[in-house]
Amino acid sequence: MSSPVARDRIASANPAQPLPRPGRWARLRSSDLWWSFTHKPSAMIAAAVLVFLIVTAFAAPLIAPQNTYDPAELVLWNSEIPPIWTADGQMPFLLGTDTQGRDILSAILYGSRVSILIGIGSVILSLAVGLSLGLMAGYFGGFIDNILMRIGDVLLSIPTILIAILVSAMAMQALPPELREVGAAGVLILAITLSGWVQYARMVRAQTAVERNKEYVQAAQLLKVPSRRIMLYHILPNTLTPIMVAATLNFGLAILTEATLSFLGIGMPVSQPSLGTLIRLGNQFLFSGVWWVVIFPVVQLCFIVVSVNVLGDWLRDALNPKLR
Amino acid sequence: MLVFIIKRLLNAVMVMLVVAFLAFLIFRVAGDPVELMVNEMSTQDDRDRLRESLGLNDSFITQYVRFVVNAAQGNFGISFRNGQEVLGLIAERFPATMELVLVATILSLLIGVPLGVLTAIHRGRWHSETLQFLSIVGVSLPSFVVGILLILVFSVTLGIMPAFGRGEVVQLGWWSTGLLTHSGRIALVLPAISLSLYQITLIMRLVRAEMMEVMRSDFIKFARARGVPRWRIQFRHALKNCLMPVITMTAMNVGALIAFALITETVFQWPGMGMLFIQAVTFIDIPVMSAYLCIISFIFVVLNTIVDITYALIDPRLRNATR
């Protein structure tokens, strides 16, 4: 592959030719963000850990020693085997097994996949709802703005965890019993979104209300660019910087909320356990000395959330113009 | 000023009305209450009479107004699960939760503020950076995980702390307190630590950010030029100017802590309102759920309103800023 950077250099040496637009990769490499990333070891380590965890979670069916969704693979014979490095450890079960003979490593891999999917799903949904409502409220103002801000006020005066618990409990109740297992992930995404979108909507609304009066927007309005296009292509990109930070941190928060709900028994069912469900199941055996059943899911959860938060922290500092 | 206070109060009432509407809606989602209360032997006549006596034939609006009037008087109906008055059930559990939350709040201030000052003035040194990283870990650890780890270390492995319950309690009127007995105080330690950890990290980061801002300001430079000892500048001049946002955040977070206490209470089997709520959720005990929602939001809204009004009293610029 001929390096895009090299091509860039040749082009700039010959001013007669028009500069070719550098490729995406080259633009990324020369950005401030990339520079601050490569000069912050903690951010690079966090990114590497996170990529590793996500890849292994999604490759769970390929690499996990056991398919934990298949009850036929669970052998009661192999129950409560401690991790491999203890005296009683047995080979295929690196991190030991639980009381039903489920391999902990496999359960964690499959569980992380569930947790990460719910985290991504709820962040995307909150972004979609929050950004579009916030844009409209900030751009049009008036009635839509008033309604939206009032709804936001109410949602912010109820603790988020309470909203999530109530919504998922009531949605589960409203679903017909045969759909409850299948729809659990969707219900959780919905419950987390309902408390999460307000923050984005408020941020975008405030920024949009400022941008709306700037000259480039007025110019676009004079050219009769449709409002939808102005909002999406002209204003939105100028509001995204703080949103990126919030979305990163909220991804971690969403995984935590999901884990909490599952731990309380109102989240993912036992048939498709997330990390929170695994911790709840393991917690019941805390006093019988089977510590590995609860510790490893806890460690995995912490690794995911800590690496997301370290990245979010770095992003906040890197994008903050005051700290440059 | 009076206008501002009235506006703020009206806003609070509006929010509470909407919250009450949500709490009222929960009843609707859960299905027909008559079906939940009758048995197979009831005739259609019984059902109709029950429906009439519960006022279910009235219009939606009338029912909602009646719900709000009852709720404002503290009448949230009776629990589906054990037939007791809901308000009584919650009042019985209220002291346990409040004691936990207050101790956790005090703990978080006592630990969070000094740590925040320390990381701000020793910025860039290794111990400050370590604390900063630990604070990220603290934010990332869900409170149930903290609880489980504390139980695993101090109760299961070391066996020096009780893992569940509240110990012996003493009745002072209707308030039951565990602070007066030894077993009650011991039982409070682990839950309070696990509840306050998140709060500690929040306060620590807030104090750090504020301190770094204040230390750059002119009056600090002037104090330094006057030859005021360094510790005196840091702890008297600078810290004083940071405390306002810290106190605000602590006050506003008490409401959130009461709600978050439900997780801690579940882990430690602490007999507070939160555990009552979680049990109600698993049994779909609607009156308890809706009462809990109303009460928590009420505490939340009252605290926010008080903070807003106090702020406006102190800082006149805010009176016009909030429309």
Residue range A41-70, pLDDT digits in tens: 888 888 899 999 898 888 878 877 777 777
Give me the residues paired with residue A97 across strands.
Answer: A103
CA atoms within 13 A on the CB side of A301: 34
- pLDDT tens, residue by residue, B12-54: 888 888 888 888 888 777 666 666 666 666 777 777 777 777 7
* B38 shares its domain with B168: no
* B99 shares its domain with B37: no
Of A141, A199, A194, A158, give the one whose Cα is nearest residue B15.
A158
**Spatial separation of the C-alpha atoms in residues B298 and A271, rounded to whole Å:** 38
Tokens of B57: 């034939």
> What is the distance in angstroms between the CA of the first residue and the CA of the last residue of chain B?
12
Task: Give the length of chain A.
Answer: 324
Q: In which band, very low, low, confident or very high, does the pLDDT at A77 lie, cut at 50, 70 and 90? A: low
- Asked if B99 and B177 touch (Cβ cutoff 8 Å), the reply is yes
Tokens of B67: 């719900």
* B37 shares its domain with B168: no
Q: pLDDT averaged over chain B?
A: 82
Residue A260 has its nearest CB partner, among B31, B136, B142, at: B142
* B49 shares its domain with B107: no
Considering only alpha carbons, which residue of chain A is nearest residue B286? A170
Distances (CA, A) of B223 to A102, A249, B13, B118, B123: 65, 39, 47, 20, 20
Is this complex scored with an ipTM above 0.90? Answer: no
* B159 shares its domain with B201: yes
**Spatial separation of the C-alpha atoms in residues A165 and A263, rounded to whole Å:** 11
Name the more confident of A130 and B213.
Answer: A130
The pLDDT, as a whole number, for residue A118 is 92
User: Mutation test of the interface with chain A: which of B35, B134, B140, B295, choosing the one with the most A Cβ atoms within 10 A?
Assistant: B140
* B302 shares its domain with B187: no
CB contact under 8 A, B278 and A264: yes
**Spatial separation of the C-alpha atoms in residues A189 and A261, rounded to whole Å:** 11
- pLDDT tens, residue by residue, B91-132: 888 888 988 999 999 999 999 888 888 888 887 778 888 888
Using only the alpha carbons of chain B, give its radius of gyration.
24
Of A266, A323, A119, give the one whose Cα is nearest residue B213.
A323
**pLDDT surpasses 60 at A13:** no
Q: Which residues of B touch A175 (CB under 8 A)?
A: none
The DSSP annotation for B108-163 comes to HHHHHHHHHHHHHHTTTSHHHHHHHHHHHHHHHS-HHHHHHHHIIIIIIIS--S--
For the domain spanning A40-63+73-323, the CATH number is: 1.10.3720.10
Share of chain A above pLDDT 90, in %: 10
CA distance, residue A210 to nearest chain B CA (Å):
16
**Spatial separation of the C-alpha atoms in residues B264 and A301, rounded to whole Å:** 18
Using only the alpha carbons of chain A, give its radius of gyration.
24
Q: Summarize the confidence of residues B209-230 as an average pLDDT.
A: 83
Residue B136 has its nearest CB partner, among A165, A170, A310, at: A310
**Spatial separation of the C-alpha atoms in residues B150 and B156, rounded to whole Å:** 9
Name the pTM for this structure. Answer: 0.82
Of A98, A81, A77, give the one whose Cα is nearest residue A89.
A81
CB contact under 8 A, A302 and B145: yes
Alpha-carbon B148 to chain mean position = 21
CA atoms within 13 A on the CB side of B7: 12
Q: Where do the domains of chain A lie?
A: 40-63+73-323
CB contact under 8 A, A166 and B18: no
Using CA atoms of B61, B5, A152, B27 in order, give the dihedral in degrees to the nearest 10.
-30
**Which amino acid belongs to residue B117?**
V
- Asked if A104 and A290 touch (Cβ cutoff 8 Å), the reply is no
* B276 shares its domain with B168: yes
The Cα diameter of chain A in Å comes to 78
CB contact under 8 A, A306 and B289: no
Most confident of A9-13, A252-256, B157-161: A252-256
Name the more confident of A124 and B43.
Answer: A124
Of B235, B256, B237, give the one whose Cα is nearest residue B301.
B256
CB contact under 8 A, B284 and A260: no
The pLDDT, as a whole number, for residue A18 is 61
**Spatial separation of the C-alpha atoms in residues A87 and A95, rounded to whole Å:** 13
**pLDDT surpasses 70 at A322:** no
**Spatial separation of the C-alpha atoms in residues A158 and B293, rounded to whole Å:** 8
Share of chain A above pLDDT 70, in %: 85
* B160 shares its domain with B267: yes
* B60 shares its domain with B145: no
- Domain limits for position B148: 87-282
**Spatial separation of the C-alpha atoms in residues A221 and A217, rounded to whole Å:** 6
Considering only alpha carbons, which residue of chain A is nearest residue B144? A260
Instruction: Burial-class residue B226 by CB neighbours within 10 Å (0-12, 13-18, 19+).
Output: exposed
- Asked if B247 and B292 touch (Cβ cutoff 8 Å), the reply is no
Tokens of B230: 């360094």
Q: In which band, very low, low, confident or very high, does the pLDDT at A289 lie, cut at 50, 70 and 90? A: confident
CB contact under 8 A, A166 and B163: no
Total number of domains in chain B:
2
Q: What is the CATH number for B160? A: 1.10.3720.10
Tokens of A178: 């045969």
The pLDDT, as a whole number, for residue B322 is 47
**Spatial separation of the C-alpha atoms in residues B111 and B179, rounded to whole Å:** 20
Give me the residues paired with residue B176 across strands.
Answer: B171
Of A132, A127, A138, give the one whose Cα is nearest residue A232.
A132
* B92 shares its domain with B229: yes
- Written in H, E and C, the secondary structure of B181-217 is CHHHHHHHHHHHHHHHHHHHHHHHHHHHHHHHHHHCC
The pLDDT, as a whole number, for residue B110 is 92
B151: number of Cβ within 10 Å:
23
**Spatial separation of the C-alpha atoms in residues A163 and A191, rounded to whole Å:** 7
* B61 shares its domain with B124: no
Q: In which band, very low, low, confident or very high, does the pLDDT at A7 lie, cut at 50, 70 and 90? A: very low
Helices vs. strands in chain B: H and E counts, helices first = 14, 2
CB contact under 8 A, A170 and B29: yes
